[in-house]
Structure 1
Amino acid sequence: MDISVVIPTCNRKQRVLLLLQNLHQSIHPLREVIIVDSGEDILTPEDLAPFSGLSIHYLTAEKSVCVQRNKGIRAASGEWIFLCDDDIEMPADYLQKIAEHSEQHQEAGAMSGLVMQWVEEEWKANYAIQSSLALVWSYVFQLSLWGEIRCRNNNFLVRKITRYYQRKGNHITKAGWPVVTDFGKDYFNTPIYGLGASVVKRDWLLHSPYEEVLDRHGMGDNYGVNIGFPAVGVHVLNDAFVYHHREPENRLKRPLQYYRRMLALHYFMKTRQRLKMSSKSWLLWSLIGNILTFIRMRDKHMVRAALKTFWLITWEKNPYYRAAKTNQKIVEPSL
């Protein structure tokens, strides 16, 4: 595989240097590494000197992860793009495993390993659904699931809902939410997957670029790119993995993340042909499910975020959609 690496970053110098060490040790050769920096704490030639084995191109851009990624993709010369977040840690054989999978599956144009995150004192990529209530709730409100169904209470209703998800496989719900419950054996296909450690055909990314109207943190950005891929979706390898450290620097608080991610989902439902099977009514219904959950959790900040989202979507006042019609970029909706 002829791979160009694209890394967007903003004031995370030490994290980028750790990532460059990983890339420098990669078994699979790289055509180039393109760093697109929007921060003030820039990388110097002295910082990059230890990585002389890499062909590093250092670009700057305005503060927007979507703008940064698009700029890096356009500048890349490789047939394949390794989209890599700056807080990813990868083993030396990660890209080699993806390259071997590509040779065996010529139809695959977007591939990733499992993205591991530190949750409940362990690294996880599969958040198994063990609560019957959570399963039923997600089914009724057409919400997202991201893990194998392993409910202890295996009553008639649970069995019926489990069979429903088994028939549907990995899919997008009527409300637009991604569902990943089939993790396959060697690999699995899914229409939606995080692209922060993925290898994608450059042509696919030029056809389905990152949406630059979104906020500078790019909440919901990978969803919009996934939707533009061919129906084969993303191949996710079970024997390849990376660690996502979720660096706290430059990260939004949870209510604002949720608010902007929901607005992005609604925006994509209005602008992407592939999401026509999802509906605004189902999205609002799913929001009611979330509001009730946040009330039960007594999380007033999340309740407020969900209520404001519900209001804007109901009355067609989505700031992303309004801004896009006048060709504005990097819109920052506030709570």
Structure 2
Amino acid sequence: MKLKSKLSALLSLVLIACAAMVLSACSEVATTSQSCAFIVGDGGDTSDANVHEVVYPGQQANQGSDENVVYVPCNSRNYIINPTDKDNKNANGEEIGDYHKPIRAVTKDGTRLNIWLTSTWTLNQDRDVMMKYFYPFCEKYQCFSEGQDGEGNINSAAPGWNAMLAENMPFAIDATAHQVLPSYSDAVWKKDVDWDKIASEMSEKFADNFRKQTGFGADLICGSGDVSQWDDPEKPGKGKFTCGQVRFVINRIEPSDANQQRLVDRQTKAELEKNSNRASLNAAKQKYGSNAGNWLGMQDTIDKCNANAKCVVVLGKGSAVVQP
């Protein structure tokens, strides 16, 4: 009986130990191709509250019972600054864009501008940057999602993510535009020239302004696409992550003063009409010679007469009548 009791007690201890192992067992964390995950201590009695691991897109890792998991977008992103109007909606009728106030700048001619643009970017996936700098920055805004790929929220991101961008991106972009535009004349809005060049210069200067805006010396974001990637794009997290420049596309540049824009529009229209008239006269000279002006005048009169059913055109001394 004593042996049986000892065996029973031993079996109980084994069962208790097994139960403890089950309770402390790890669960699996998986990310999609669009997201990264942070595995973080839950701050309980048996854990700290630090970041323990970064899980890169398409990877798996183990989560302990005293750890939490949160997700952030890790794919190519854009930040669209555009006006609010009926044309800026997607096929679902939802408003397009992230920020709806223009970026301000001044040309070297002193004209104040409204600039509408798009920036393309992604997170800096360098492990140290994500763990030491981006996580605490993101935590300020609670920019994480508890589910993958933003869980269908606005712009496929958590509300805190959008708040983080709204508090930093427009101001860094605005500061960059203030550095770049003063070297350009009013031709940038009168004739829509040099937009690609402006975008390129903004890319060169943006990183420094974003660092100042966020207060971090490290680059928290990089350019999206092929300018920022791991040594082997198929093995994120291994080797070095190259952080390229955030890129810009200028969508529209216009003067802040709407009256100034209307004046230039009228001047542009008049110039186009003048060029059209000059082209018509040159073509008529080839056909009618020195009398080209007279023939064009008659054609113009007849064209205007066509709009009036009672109009009669008399050529010469009445010997020829044109009645449309």
- Select the structure with the greater relative contact order (CA < 8 A; seq sep ≥ 6): 1
Give the TM-score normalised by the residue count of structure 2: 0.21
Give the TM-score normalised by the residue count of structure 1: 0.20
In terms of Rg, which structure is larger?
2
